[in-house]
Amino acid sequence: MKISWKTIKDMLCNNVVLKVLSVIIAIAMWLLVINIEDPQVTTTIKNIPVHILNENAITGNEEAYDVLSGDTVTIKVTGPRTIVDSLNKDDFTATADFKDLSKTNAVPINISINNTRYESKITISEKSDNAMRLSVVALVEKDYEVGVQTSGKVQDGYVLYNTVPEENTVVIKAPEAVHEQIRKVSLLLNLSGEETENFSYICGAVAYDYSNRMLDTKVNHMTISKANIVVDGVVYYKKTVDIDYNVANNMGDGIIMTEYEASAEKADIIGLKEKLDEINKIVIPEEMTVLTSEKQKIEIDLNKLLPEGVMVYGENNIFTITAKTESIVTKSISIRTGDIGIKNIPDGYEASINNSGNLSITLSGRQSDIDALDDEKLAPYVDLSSALMGENSVKVNVILPEDVSQTQSAYVTVVLTEKSSREPETDNTTASTTTTVPETSTSPTEERTEEKTTPTETTTEETTVPEEENTTPLQ
């Protein structure tokens, strides 16, 4: 049998009210059956937080606690589906009353439903934890000195010279295990960068462990007796000035000051700005900077040279001058008489040295200068500027570098005679045997006092001078 579209349309459109009413009645009948025959079901409610009651039952006895287990609880609830399906953890309250603490540090957990209409209709059939378990420790009080920990800086051109807390100690109450972690207690001072004068700030006290980490007071059951303390700050103006000094060398005989070393040429000073404006340098009196063989290092406290209220910033107030010295050493030099030149022979005369063999002279000076001597360049000579006819005892001179002196002299006998008329009157020289030195070679040792010495032996065959010098052959 074929059903047309018109037939279907007529079936749906005819008696519409009656058909809608039938659907409503069917739904109502279903709800009625459900309400009359509401089945019992069981569901799990998780992570209900456990609230602590009467905490002072522990904390009021100078004790602290940590929850080891039972801070949340999971339950199973049985009741009509229509009720149970609508429940969650917020519909329940779990509590642990510390008044009921057992000798094993356990507290029973009690659970109740917040909606009292459901109390008789549901049951709690199971709990994950029946008790909250605690670790209870005694609190101990100990005294700690406090320091000041500064962050930031004062205004440019100024320095924070000192910080002074109005209280030097605090009392910390905490478990013994926490006390063992505390390394220091500091007051946290935060500078704004605008400070130009003294100030007083309230600063919080903080405890640090041995890894320099801040200890949380709540987590560690720690209380600080004076959590906030006033800190007084002293602020000074800073200025850099020269250190004015002159070193006096009074080393005496037997030692030479090669140089000296000063610890600084400038110093940072601090004080009130109006006082520092009047100071441009620190002047050290000359009597304080005399270096001697016994006092080769001088230490001067610059603060003692500054007016009251002005001081050197930091720990650089001790100014030092240290001498670098070398001892005087001596050296003996052996000179062959055949190597001694003759200079300044009077016109019309000739001269000869009667001595033979070697002579010894003594030189003195710094070790480095003595070690650097070249014996072959000493050029020994005698000067006949003051010689008389006949035999003369004349000092033997040598050419020495600066800072080396001849301290022990040698003398030779020089015979001065009139020149024979048969000899040529040229320049009084005999090329094959004469040793001469230039007239301009004036020994530095001639005008020096005989002070220093130490020798090395040297042998030279011949020392010559330009032909224009007045010379005479050695005999």
Q: Is 190 exposed, middle or buried (0-12, 13-18, 19+ CB in 10 A)?
A: exposed
Task: State residue 2's pLDDT score.
Answer: 58
Contact indicator for 243, 282 with CB cutoff of 8 Å: yes
18-72 pLDDT per residue, tens: 767 778 888 877 766 666 667 888 999 999 999 999 999 998 888 999 999 999 9
Q: Which residues contact 96 (CB under 8 A, 6 or more apart)?
A: 50, 51, 52, 53, 70, 107, 108, 109, 110, 131, 132
**111 contacts: CB under 8 Å, gap ≥ 6:** 48, 73, 75, 92, 93, 94, 95, 124, 127
* CATH tag, 140-237: 2.170.120.40
Cα–Cα distance for residue pair 434/437, rounded to 1 Å = 10
How far apart are the C-alpha atoms of 40 and 43, rounded to whole Å? 10
What lies within 8 Å, CB to CB, of 3 at 6+ separation is none
pLDDT of residue 400: 86
The per-residue pLDDT for range 102-129, each reduced to its tens digit, is 999 999 999 999 988 888 888 988 888 8
- Calculate mean pLDDT across residues 261-270: 94
What type of residue sits at position 4?
S
Closest CA to 170 of 147, 138, 195, 202: 147
pLDDT of residue 430: 33
Considering only CA atoms, give the Rg of the chain: 55
Assigned architecture for domain 40-129 = Beta Complex (2.170)
Task: Give the phi and the psi of residue 24 in degrees, each rounded to 5.
Answer: -65, -40
pLDDT score of 6: 63
C-alpha distances in Å from residue 400, one per residue of 362, 378, 384, 447, 449: 12, 6, 20, 12, 13
Give residue 179's Cα distance to chain centre.
Answer: 30
Question: Which of 36-45, 169-178, 408-417: highest mean pLDDT?
Answer: 169-178
| Burial of 144: CB neighbours in 10 Å, binned 0-12, 13-18, 19+ | buried
pLDDT at 175 over 80: yes
- Residue 282: its pLDDT value, please? 96
Side-chain-facing half-sphere of 179: CA atoms under 13 Å: 14
**Per-residue model confidence (pLDDT) at position 447:** 35
Residue 271 in this model has a pLDDT that exceeds 80: yes
The Cβ of residue 97 has, within 10 Å, a number of other Cβ atoms equal to 17
Instruction: State the burial class of residue 311 (Cβ atoms within 10 Å of its Cβ: 0-12, 13-18, 19+).
Output: middle
Higher-confidence residue of 473 and 387: namely: 387
Average pLDDT score over residue span 230-245: 95
Q: What's the half-sphere exposure (Cβ side, CA atoms, 13 Å) at 301? A: 4
Query: Which CATH code fits 329-447?
Result: 2.170.120.30
Domains 140-237 and 329-447 share a fold: yes
- The pLDDT value recorded for residue 421 is 60
For 309-320, the pLDDT digits (tens) are 999 998 889 999
Report the pLDDT averaged over residues 239-248.
93
376: tokens are: 């072959």
Q: If we measure between CA atoms, which residue out of 463, 264, 273 comes closest to residue 380?
A: 463
Res 475 pLDDT > 60: no
Model pLDDT for residues 416-457, shown as the tens digit of each residue: 898 876 544 444 433 333 344 444 333 333 333 333 333 333
Question: What are the sequence ranges of the domains in the chain?
Answer: 5-36, 40-129, 140-237, 250-327, 329-447
218-242 average pLDDT score: 94
Question: Residue 356 — very low, low, confident or very high, per pLDDT cuts 50/70/90?
Answer: confident
What pTM was estimated for this model as a whole? Answer: 0.55
The overall average pLDDT reported for the chain is: 82
Q: What are the tens digits of pLDDT across the range 61-102? A: 889 999 999 999 999 999 888 888 889 999 999 999 999 999
Residue 355 pLDDT class (50, 70, 90 cuts): confident
More confident residue, 163 or 445: 163
- Nearest Cα to Cα of residue 148 among 229, 237, 210: 229
